[in-house]
Structure 1
Amino acid sequence: MRAGRPPEDVTLVAVTKNFPASYVTAAVASGLTNVGESKAQELAAKRIELPELDVRWHFIGRLQRNKVRSVLEHADVVQSVDRVALARAIAKAARESDRFNPSRRLQIMLQVDLDPSPPNVDKDSTSARGGVHPDQLLELAAEVAACDVLELTGVMSIAPLGYDPADCFRRLARLREQLREVYPTATEISAGMSGDFAVAIENQATLVRVGTALFGSRELPF
């Protein structure tokens, strides 16, 4: 690979948003083992339709607190935790769920806002695409780490429009290193989509979220 990294260092998450469950089945048949969904209702519908499929389900979209319990019924990883109130809601629901316990924890990634100058930043604000401001990353991490049924595994981000993805992903890698100094389990970097996943891999991404490049355009909702 041009990034000089072995393929096994990077996990491909197949994003099946707006595609039917048959696309998930086809992805798994081709050897993929990780699938991403960005809507709670789609995640639930596909998981119910494919109960025996051996796949790790990632929730990667903006998550509202009223959808937390639904997502936790079906997701193995939540990549988009971006505010303290959401982390608390997830911790509460996870403790009350029969899916998770200290030996089988819900994996959590913190979504970071990489816009260099987000407007009106305050303690719990997020950008339109989601993400905690880097200055509040450790505070959010502490909230997740305090819950014994959650496992903090790393960071996630989307390169903001109008900025060089390489610069953004380098910043994300530095933030992951700072986080890992305090929380050693935070080893993952989820970065890059169909248009910029190669750049993300060159800048230490360990997961890439790819939909269009695998399945084509999503012109109609599933």
Structure 2
Amino acid sequence: MISDIEAQGIRDRLAGTLDAVAEAARVSGRRPEDVALVAISKFHPADAVRAAYEGGQRHFGENYIQEALAKQDELADIDISWHFTGRLQSNKAKFVPDRFGLLHTLDGSKLAQALHKRLAATCAPTLDVLIEVNLGGEGQKAGVEESELSALAEEVLGLSTLRLRGLMLLPPFDLTPEQRRPLFARLRELRDKLEPSLGAKLPDLSMGMTDDFPEAVMEGATIVRVGTRIFGPRPVKQ
């Protein structure tokens, strides 16, 4: 359980984050309502999520399936839009249908086909997905390579159970926010080139976190994923 003081701290930091996102949007000539905030609640207890919900937040992101499912069950009495923002193994695709409104981290054909098979078998609603693109050249990170993006996007568009909404980026952590900005711009450029070739609109760009969301918004982010700025330092995973 978190204390009342901790809960109020979460709500206060949430309000400050929403103000900062809105200001970044205005500075870049965009409307604040065109940028959605996803509160990344991984490792934080369900009570922390509830506190943010009471502060007006509705979109929450989780990185680990089992943690997410437990939290969803505990918070089943409130209407949350859940996003899956972590790396998803194809053998855990069965847990995503009906549990998440948006998958940010589709990174290959194997996962796309696993999701399609599960969704088709269960007659679950169409799942909105983003393709994660690895622009930092980090071998240990998930994400499709830029050269493979078009083929994967075409494949996903051909799967009736998936709805491709756009792209997602997780840049290298050792870069400064200004050094990440060209990567944010590159993701936007890739989206802009992909749309006419696919003949489909890709409205969403999920990019930007606690320390770099203003730069991401200025380069076109429509979704920012912020955790520490809202919830405070992340507890150590047990």
TM-score (norm 2): 0.83
What does 1:118-129 correspond to in 2, within 5 Å?
127-129=139-141
What does 1:58-77 correspond to in 2, within 5 Å?
58-77=83-102
Distance 1:145 1:184 in 2: 9
What is the number of residues matched between the two proteins?
A: 209
Paired residue type of 2:237: P
Contact 1:141-1:152 within 8 A present in 2 as well: yes
Aligned to 2:189: 174
Aligned to 1:199: 215
Aligned to 1:108: 129
Paired residue type of 1:185: K
What does 1:1-222 correspond to in 2, within 5 Å?
1=23, 2-100=27-125, 105-115=126-136, 117=137, 127-163=139-175, 164-181=179-196, 182-221=198-237
The CA deviation at 1:162 is: 4.2
Paired residue type of 2:192: E
Deviates more, 1:193-202 or 1:51-60: 51-60
User: Rg: which structure is higher?
Assistant: 2
Paired residue type of 1:7: P
TM-score (norm 1): 0.89
**Cα gap change, 1:21 to 1:203, in 2 (>3 Å):** same
The CA deviation at 1:221 is: 2.6
Give the unaligned 5+ runs of structure 1.
119-126
Contact 2:44-2:235 within 8 A present in 1 as well: no
Runs of 4+ in 1 over 6 A off after TM superposition: none
Identical amino acids, percent of aligned pairs: 37
The CA deviation at 1:183 is: 4.6
Distance 2:98 2:130 in 1: 17
- Which structure features the higher share of helix residues? 2
Distance 1:53 1:94 in 2: 25
Distance 2:155 2:130 in 1: 12
Contact 1:43-1:71 within 8 A present in 2 as well: no
**Cα gap change, 1:179 to 1:207, in 2 (>3 Å):** same
Deviates more, 1:194-203 or 1:51-60: 51-60
Aligned to 1:122: none
CA-based RMSD of the aligned residues comes to 1.5
